[in-house]
Structure 1
C-alpha cells in the first residue's frame, strides 16, 4: 500500500512538473513573439518616421525664405479694420472683427507674464534657435503612428509664425514652412521682440463682456481690469494658461456672464499648473510658490459687463460670404495647397477659418459692384411696396436681384421684407422650384440651339400624360390642340415644354452641359417634369444669371458682387476678371429674346408692363422681355425680366412652402413694377430705356406655313398626297432653317392628335 501511494504521488508530481514546464515554455514563447512584434512595431515606426522626415525634408528644400522686412512685418501685424464699399467707393460698413486686440511695447508688459508664458509654453525659449529638433522628431513620430497631431513640439517662435502667417492646417508643407520661417525669424529679431510679438497676438479667450480677446493687454484689462504691466504673479499665471485652450479656460461665457464653479475650475487648475512651471523653472522660490498657489484667483475676476453691438443687413453678410470664398481661394493659391491636401477635412477647415479671420482683421478694402443709389432705392421699395405681395395667407417674402447683362455685376438686390425679422437672404440663399420660368432656359432655348425649333414652330398641346399615366395639367386644363411656340410661351403651357424636353432626351442632347455652364446643379436630368420646374430648385441669383445669359447674346458671365479686394498696403490681392462662357449661340439668344418680348407684350401671364407704364411711361416703354413662373398650388411666384442692359429676377412666397392665393402672380407683377420704377428714379440710365434687342445676323429666316411651322410641301395624309399651302409667316432659326412640311410636323403629339390636327388644317379651321 505504501509503495503504491508513493508511486502515485511521484506520478502526480511529474505531471505537475510537466504542466509547469509547458506553461513556462508557452510563456517564454509568447514573450519572444511579443518581443518580435514590439521590435517590428518599432522598426515600422522608425521607417514611417524616416519616410516622414524624408518627405518633410523635400518640402523644406522647396521653401522660399521671406525677406527680413516681410517676415518681421507679418509677425508684428496686428488687427486692422477691414471695410466694404459700394461701387463708388463710399463705405458700406467696417467688418466686425469679433476680436479685441491692443498691442503694447515690451516695457508695458510685466515680467511676471513673460516668465509665466516661457515656463509653460517653451522652457527652452532663451537657448534654442527657433526650433527644437528632438521635439520636431517626437511630434513627427507621434503623427506617423497616429497618436496625435503634428503641431506638438512647437516653440513660441513657431507658434507665432503659425498664428500670424501660416495657419493651422496639418500638412507637411505648412510644417516645413513653419520650421524654416522660425529659424529665419530668430536671426531677424531678438528674443524679447519675439516674446512681445507673441504676447500681443495670442488669443486669450473672452473678456467680461463676452468678447473675444487677443493680446496680453486686452486679457489683463478684460479679465482683471489692470494693465499688462501691473499683472500680479497669480494673474499672470492665469493668463499664461489661457492660450492652450482659450475658451475652455476663460472665466466668462459668450454673453459675458461668469462661469459656474465647475467650469471655472478648469482655468483655475490650469493656473496652478502654470505656477508650478514657474517654480520648476526657478522663476519662483519654494516659499513664493506655496504662497501663490493658495491664492484664490477668482476674487480678481471682473464682474460681467455688456458689449455694444453693431447691426447689419442682408448686404453686409452677402458681401462677406463672397469675399470669404475669394480670400480662401487666394490663401490656397498663395500657400501652394494642392487638391490632394484639401481632401484632408482638417486642412480645408483650417483654411476656411484662416480666410475668415484674415478678412476680418487684415485691414482689407472690399470694393463691391453694388450701386449705392440703386440698392437704397430697392430697399425703400421693398419696405413701401412689399405689402402688395401679401394676401389672405399672410405676409409674403420676396427676393430680387438686379444684374448687369454685359458683366454679371450685381447692381442691387432685395434679401427680404425686413432683416431684423427674417435673416434668410431670399435673393441668394433660398432655393425654390422655378416653375415655368425654367422653360425658356432648359427646354426651348436648347431646342432652338439644336435646330429642332424655330420661332414659328408648332408644338402639341393635346392632352398628354407622363409615363406613370398621370395627366400633365396646366392649372385645371388638360390641354387644347396644336399651338405655336409663341403661344406656348405666352400662356406658359406645360405640355409643349414637356414634348420639347422629351425630344432633347430622345435625341441624346447633352442638356447637362448647357445647364452646368450656368452653374445649375441638377441631380437627375431624366425627370419628366423637369422642364415644368419639377426636380430642380434654384435661387433668384441663379435664375437671374441664366436670363442674363440670354440677354447677353447667349454668353454667361458669372454673377458677382465683389469687384476687388485690396490689402492695407494698397496691393490688389483680388480683381474680378471676366470669364465669359458661351452657352447658346448668338442666334438662339436673339430668337429667344424675340419670343420673350412677346410674353411681356401679350400680357397673358403678366401685367408687369402695363402696370409699369401706368407708373412711369418712359420705364414702361423700355424693350422688356421676360417670363413668369408659378409652382404647384401657388407656392412660388416668379418673374424674370430683362432690357438689353440689365436683368431683374424676382421671387415671392412663404418660407415654409405653404401656398399663396391664386392672386400671387398679379401681386408680384404690381410689386415688381413699383420696384422697377424706384430703380429708374434712382438711376435713370441703368435700365437702358432707349436700347433695343435685335436679331443676330446669323439668324436663318424661313418662310413657313402658319399651320405647320414648316415650308409648304406635298404631304401624304390618310393615304392621299396633298399639296399643303396657306397663310405664311417668317420663322427664325438658329440652325438648319425650316424643313418641308411632313405629316408629323409638330413637336410631340400622338397619332390621334395628328389625325385631328390634319382634319382641322384641311378644313381651314
Structure 2
C-alpha cells in the first residue's frame, strides 16, 4: 500500500487495525495537551482584551464627548459673585426686643469663627497641603491626570472612587455646589475650580478652605467648622499658636471630622483616640516626605503624647440661653414652618397629626433660621420683661413653703386689644428647670375655668342673667360622688350668679353647666379661642371646676381672660412681630385675626361680676396686697378670678385692667399638694410682680380707664329672692304675691328674665324649692331674708 492510498482502507479493516493498535504513551503526550490548551486560552484572553479595550475606548470617547458638552453648559458666576459665594459663611441671625435692642444672637449648631490668613499657623497650612493636595502650589485648580484617573474609575468601575479633587475643587464643592454625584456637577466643579484659581490667590484659597471646612467637635460636644474654632475647641489655643503635632492633628480632621474628633457629641473624651492620632502620624510623615520638616522634627512630633494637650470636656450649659431666647427662637421657628410644609404639599392638620412630620420640619426650619442672617423682631418690651424677671428673683421667696423643693410659677402679661405679649415668666430658675411654665406646661385651671366655660357661655345664650339663681343645695355627680364647695358643703339655699362667681362656689356652677349642656355646646367657645382640651372632656360634669386631664397653659388662660377684657374679641397671643432677612426684606409679618367669641354685652357683664371677686370675694387678698404696695395701681379697674385645682395641686390668679391681662400660676412639677394658704400667697406674689412692672411701664395698664356695660346689655329689675320678674307664685296651694318684694337689677346679654315661678332657679329638687320658699317672707313680714 503506497502512502497516497493510506486513508482508502476499508472500514472493517480499519476497525480491525484499531483494535490491534497499542495504547499511546500518556507521559509523552501531556506536553502537547498543555501546549494546545495554553495557546487556546492565550488567544481567548488576547481577544477579550482587544474587545474590552475597544469598548473602553468607545466608552471613554463617548464619556469625554459627553463631558465636553457638559462643560459648555456650565454657568460660571462673575468674579465678585464667585468670590462672595466661596468666602460666604453662614450668616448669624439675631433676636431683638420690641425696641430693636438685641436679645441674643442665635447660636448655630455649627460653631464657626472666621479669621484672616495671618492668624493661621504655617504649620497648619503646610500640613494641610502635603496631606490633601501636594501639588497645590503648582496646579491651576485641577490635576488632569487625577481627574482622568477618577473619571476612568467611575466609567469602568475599577479602582478607587475617591480622590482626584484638589483643595480648590473641595472648596468649590463645599461653598458653591451641592453634594450631588453626577458628571454635570463634576464638570461644574472643574470649571469653577479653574475660574477660582484665576481670581483668587493660593493663600486666599487655602485660608478660605480652612475657614469653612468642618473639624468635628469641640470639648463642649458642639459641631465646629473653621480652623480657629478647632484650635480653640480642642487644644485651647488660637490657630496661630499651635505646635507642630497639634497642627498635624488639626490638618488631618477634615478628611473624616467626626471619626477623628477626640470628643463625643455629649462632650466626653473618646475611650479610643487611635483613629485621630494615627491620622496625625500620617500627616507628619507626609510633611517629612515633602521635606517640610526634618527627620528629627518628625520623630519628635510623632513621639509626643498629644493626649495631654486635649482640653478637658465641658458640657455646654443651656443656662446661657434662658427662657426668653429659647422661647422666641422656637416661636420664630413655628411661624415660619407653614411656608416650608405648604411648599411640600402638606397641610396644618398633617403637621399637627404627625409628631414625626412636625419634628422634621421644626428642626429643618430651626437650622435654616440659625444660618440665614435673619432678624427676629419680637413684641417683648425689654423694660417690662426685665422687671418681671427681677420680680420673680426678688419675690419668689413668697412662694417657698419651707419644704426645700422649688415651687414653680408661670406668668404672661398681654395686651388685651392686640394679643401682644409684653413679657412673661417661664419659671423660678432656668438653670434648675428649663420647662417653660408660661407656654409649655398644661395644668388644671381649677375655678378659673368657671367664667370662660360656664358663666360666659350661659350669659351669651340668655340662659342666665347676673342675678339669676343657682341651687347650692347638696349635689352628687352621676357616679354618686358628692360635689363639694371649696370650703364647705352646699349652703342649703339658692345663690345668685354674681355671688356664686364671687365666692367661686362649685355646686351652683355644676348645676348651671349640666343645664347648659341641654341646649348649647360650650366647646364652640373654646374652639374659637384655640384652647385644645380633649373633646370628650367638655361633657364631664366636673369640667367647669377645671377637672381636665389635658389641662391649659398659662398663655391660653391669659388669652381667654383678655378676650373678656376686650369686649369678647379674641386675639391670639403673639411674641413675633416680624422676621426680616439680611437685606431687610420682610419674610414674615404677624397679621391679627380677631375673632368675636362672646357678645360685647356678655363680656361686659362678666367684667362687672368679676370686679366683685377682687373687691369682696376670693380675690380680696390680691386687692389688699396691691393696696399696700401701690394705692394708685390698686385703684385701677381690676377684674379677675382665682383658681384652685383638686387637692391644691395648682393655684391660679388672673386679672385684667382695660389695658392688660396679667396671670400667675404656681405649683410643683410633680403635682405635690400645696398648703391651702398658698392660694393667698400666690395673690400676694402676683401683686408684687404686677407693681414691679407698673413702676417701669405704667402706661400699658390704662389705670384711668374703666370697664363699662356695653350699650346692648339689658338691665332688668328682678325679685332678689327668685332672680326673676315679679309675679304671683303658687306654693303648697298658697298664692304668694311677690309685688313689693325687694328687687335688684339683673344684666342680660340677650332675652331677659321670665316671670317668677315655683322653680325659679337652675338645679335643685322640689324639696329644695319648698325649703327655699319656706324661708322667704314678703315685705309685709318684719324682714326679708337675703340668700
Q: How does 1:282-301 map to 2 (within 5 A)?
A: none
Give, in angstroms, the shift of residue 745 of structure 1.
Answer: 2.2
SS in 2 for 1:380: helix
Equivalent position SS for 1:447? helix
Cross-structure match for 1:470: 481
Deviation of 1:491 (Å): 0.7
Give the deviation of 1:651 after TM superposition: 1.3
TM superposition shift of 1:506: 2.2
- Deviates most, 662-671 or 65-74: 65-74
Change (3 A) 1:607 1:229: closer
Q: Distance in 2 between matches of 1:373 and 1:518?
A: 29
> What is the CA-CA distance between 1:98 and the residue it aligns to?
4.7
* Aligned CA-pair RMSD: 4.7
SS of corresponding position for 1:730: strand
Match in the other structure for 1:555: 569
Closer, same or farther: CA 526–185 of 1 in aligned 2, 3 Å: farther
Q: Shift in Å at residue 498 of structure 1?
A: 0.7
Measured in 2, the distance between the counterparts of 1:724 and 1:67 equals 93
2:523 alignment partner in structure 1: 512
- 2:105 corresponds to 1:91: no
What pairs with 1:577-592 in structure 2 (closer than 5 Å)?
577-592=591-606
Q: How far, CA to CA, are the matches of 1:610 and 1:683 in structure 2?
A: 22
Check if 1:417 corresponds to 2:428.
yes
Task: Determine if the alignment matches structure 1 residue 315 to structure 2 residue 324.
Answer: yes
What is the CA-CA distance between 1:253 and the residue it aligns to?
Answer: 3.3
Query: Which of 455, 458, 473 is 1:444 aligned to?
Result: 455
1:418-450 per-position Cα deviation (integer Å, ceiling 9, x unaligned) = 333443332223222211111001111111112
Task: Determine helix, strand or coil for the equivalent of 1:686.
Answer: helix
CA distance in 2, matches of 1:167, 1:476: 69
Q: In 2, distance between residues paired with 1:417 and 1:672?
A: 14
Corresponding residue number in structure 2 for 1:379: 389
Query: Residue in 2 aligned with 1:12?
Result: none
CA drift at 1:191: 6.6
* Residue 707 (structure 1) aligned with residue 721 (structure 2): yes
How far residue 406 of structure 1 moved from its aligned partner, in angstroms, is: 0.8
Cross-structure match for 2:49: none
User: How much has 1:744 moved relative to structure 2?
Assistant: 2.5
Question: What is the 5 A alignment of 1:398-417?
Answer: 398-417=409-428
Distance (whole Å) between structure 2 residues aligned to residue 179 and residue 663 of structure 1: 75
Residues 1:457 and 1:693: Cα distance change in structure 2 (over 3 Å): same
1:38-57 matches, cutoff 5 A: none
- Write out per-residue CA displacement over residues 446-498 of structure 1, whole angstroms, 9 at most, x where no aligned residue: 11112211111111111100101110011352201101001001110001111
In 1, the alpha carbon distance for the partners of 2:241 and 2:370 equals: 25
Deviation at 1:228, TM superposition (A): 13
1:18 aligns to what? Answer: none
How has the CA–CA distance of structure 1 residues 330 and 163 changed in structure 2, closer, same or farther, with 3 Å as cutoff? farther
8 Å contact from structure 1 (residues 646, 686) kept in 2? yes
Question: Using a 3 Å threshold, how does the CA distance of structure 1 residues 179 and 269 change in structure 2: closer, same or farther?
Answer: same
Report the secondary structure of 1:384's partner residue: helix
After the TM superposition, which residues 188-199 of structure 1 pair with which residues of structure 2 at under 5 Å, given as runs? 190=195
Structure 1 CA distance for aligned equivalents of residues 143 and 710 of structure 2: 73
* Partner Cα distance (1:715, 1:597) in 2: 34
Q: Quick check: 1:760 aligned with 2:772?
A: no
Aligned to 2:346: 338
Asked if 1:532 is matched to 2:542, the reply is no
- After superposition, give the CA deviation of every residue in 1:38-69 in whole Å (9 maximum; x if it has no partner): xxxxxxxxxxxxxxxxxxxxxxxxxxx99989
Distance 2:518 2:142 in 1: 74
Cα offsets for 1:193-228 (capped at 9, x unmatched): 999977754533213564421245644675577579
Aligned pairs for 1:315-714 within 5 A: 315-332=324-341, 335-336=343-344, 338-339=346-347, 348-391=358-401, 393=403, 396-480=407-491, 481-507=493-519, 509-523=520-534, 524-535=537-548, 536-714=550-728
Alignment length, in residue pairs? 659
Select the residue among 731, 747, 760 that pairs with 1:745.
760
Equivalent residues of 2:400, 2:407 under 8 A apart = yes
Distance 1:315 1:746, change over 3 A: same
CA distance in 1, matches of 2:631, 2:375: 40
The Cα of 1:591 is off from its aligned counterpart by 1.0
Q: Deviations over 1:97-151 (max 9, x none)?
A: 35332447899895975897799xxx999899xxx9x99xx9xxxxxxxxxxxxx
Report the Cα offset of residue 274 of structure 1: 12
CA contact (8 A) 2:263 2:313 kept: no
Using a 3 Å threshold, how does the CA distance of structure 1 residues 662 and 347 change in structure 2: closer, same or farther? Answer: closer
Give per-residue Cα distances to partners, 1:616-635, cap 9 Å, x unaligned: 22111111100001122322
**Alignment match of 2:311 (pick from 282, 304, 317):** 304
CA distance in 2, matches of 1:538, 1:188: 57
Structure 1 or 2, whichever has the larger Rg, is 2
Structure 1: which 5+ runs fail to align? 1-64, 139-154, 169-174, 285-291
Q: Partner of 2:93 in structure 1?
A: 82
After alignment, is 693-702 or 178-187 more displaced?
178-187
Deviations along 1:513-564, whole A, 9 cap, x unmatched?
2112222221222222111011252222221111011101111111122222
Within 1, Cα distance between the matches of 2:172 and 2:421?
38
Cα gap change, 1:731 to 1:125, in 2 (>3 Å): farther
Give the Cα–Cα distance (whole angstroms) in 2 for the partners of residues 332 and 71 of structure 1: 31
Query: Does the Cα contact within 8 Å between 2:562 and 2:570 map onto a contact in 1?
Result: yes
User: Which stretch of the first structure deviates more once superposed, 84-93 or 231-240?
Assistant: 231-240
Cα offset, 1:390, TM superposition? 2.9
1:640-688: CA deviations, max 9, x gaps? Answer: 1100100010112223222222211222222222222222211221211
Shift of the 499–75 alpha-carbon distance from structure 1 to 2, 3 Å rule, reads farther
Change (3 A) 1:163 1:687: farther
CA distance in 2, matches of 1:629, 1:397: 16
Contact map agreement 2:132 2:167 (CA 8 A) in 1: no
Rounded Cα–Cα distance in structure 1 between residues aligned with 2:598 and 2:167: 58
The alpha-carbon distance between structure 1 residues 76 and 577, as it changes in their structure 2 partners (threshold 3 A), is farther
- Is the CA contact 1:492–1:605 (under 8 Å) kept in the aligned structure 2? no
Cα deviation, 1:19-53, whole Å, max 9, x if unaligned, reads xxxxxxxxxxxxxxxxxxxxxxxxxxxxxxxxxxx
Taking the aligned partners of 1:438 and 1:533, their CA distance within structure 2 comes to: 5
Partners of 1:692 and 1:184 in 2: how far apart? 70
CA distance in 1, matches of 2:595, 2:496: 31
3-state secondary structure, aligned to 1:607:
helix
Quote the offset at 1:373 in angstroms. Answer: 1.9
C-alpha change, 1:208 and 1:477, in structure 2 (3 Å) is closer
- Whether the 8 Å contact between 1:518 and 1:545 is mirrored in structure 2 is yes
1:690 aligned counterpart, secondary structure: coil
CA displacement at 1:231 relative to structure 2: 9.5
Distance 1:162 1:332 in 2: 28
Cα 1:413/1:339, change in 2 over 3 Å: closer
Contact 2:249 2:277 in 1 (8 A): no
Tell me, in whole angstroms, the C-alpha distance in 1 between the residues paired with 2:512 and 2:734: 29
